[in-house]
Amino acid sequence: MNSVEAIQVLVDDLYSITCMDSGRQTRLQGRKMKKKMVGQKLRKSSGRLRRRCLARGIRILSNLIPGGKSMAVGELFVEAACYLSSLKMRVKTMQAMISMLSGDSQ
């Protein structure tokens, strides 16, 4: 997986995480149904919801990545992909050290 694919997966996961557990989404959907929006108005509203969820996710991501609060969005996603790959490498290193110290040979 190259860095562009990793960033796309990160964006998709970020969107699904921030919108799934958001009570705001169900309230907005209820409002949509009450107003009985159709056609273009419905598309605008769902786009607005998506932007809100992404903005919330970007805010959360910027808090998780070291130095993320001062980065632009594109730079933040690239840094997040690099940071995640470095964390994965650290986990693999620690797992190798544990198996070596415990005497397991894998």
How confident is the model at residue 52, as a pLDDT? 86
Give the global pTM.
0.54
The model's pLDDT over 17-71, given as tens digits with 9 standing for 90+, comes to 655 544 555 555 555 555 554 555 556 667 788 888 888 989 999 999 999 999 9
Q: In the predicted model, what is the mean pLDDT of residues 10-15?
A: 67
Write down the domain spans for the chain: 3-102
32-61 burial: b if 16+ Cβ within 10 Å, else e:
eeeeeeeeeeeeebeeebeebbbebbbeeb
How confident is the model at residue 20, as a pLDDT? 54
